[in-house]
Amino acid sequence: MKRSADMTVVAVLLILAGGLGTLATVVSSMTGPKMFGAQLEQAERQLNRAPVGTGEGQLRPEQVEQLRGSLRKIRQEILPLLTSPTMQLLGLLGGVLNAAACVAGIGILLLQGWARRLIVWQAGLSIPFMLWSSMATMAFQHRLSEELLGLMGNPAAQAQVQQFARIGQWIGIAIVIAWNGFILWFFNRASVKAQFEQGQSAVSSKQ
């Protein structure tokens, strides 16, 4: 039986999203902490070269000490969170779920019954995973933003930036929940199940 056009579109989207997501997870886990550490080192070098004094365009000594204290706290307390067991587990599970979506998309193009079951399980697990991942990420970003935005010396601007960040995170959560909810609905429809059943029957009849 020939696939419906909407199933083909969804399968291609799963392959693209799953493949890109897997690649992003691998790259992030391998380079994320190193890149963040390199940025901290660059900030420390720039601070060491900054003019210190009381004249115009110079940093006051107390400002320099405050900046150094914040960078030291980020390096000692926040940077290790990127390589914590929780973050490593989140990266591993995220990579597995993305890879499962990609593999399922390929199987869906071939109307394989296991692919439909796999993507249903993948979508069902992705929703609680996204909530857990978002909570862990929010906690990390909140601690980081407190240190970085605190240097602005403007509590109102700091609160506004944090508010926009939270809004963006919740929008991301809503998109993931909506997409996976759509996947659960789409692949549990009777018409979609029938396509897989007829596809499997066609394969069996040729053997």
Inter-residue contact 172 to 134 (CB < 8 Å): yes
103, with CB counted inside 10 A (0-12, 13-18, 19+), is: buried
- The DSSP code for 57 is T
User: What's the pLDDT score for residue 169?
Assistant: 79
pLDDT score, position 1: 57
- Give pTM, 2 decimals: 0.75
| CB-CB neighbours of 122 under 10 Å | 24
What is the chain's pLDDT, residue by residue, as a tens digit (207 residues)?
578 899 999 999 999 999 999 998 888 877 877 787 777 788 778 777 777 777 776 777 777 777 777 777 777 777 777 777 888 888 889 999 999 999 999 999 999 999 999 999 999 999 999 888 888 777 777 666 666 655 555 556 566 666 777 787 788 889 989 999 999 999 999 989 988 888 666 555 555
Q: Compute the radius of gyration of the chain from its Cα atoms.
A: 24
Identity of the residue numbered 158: Q
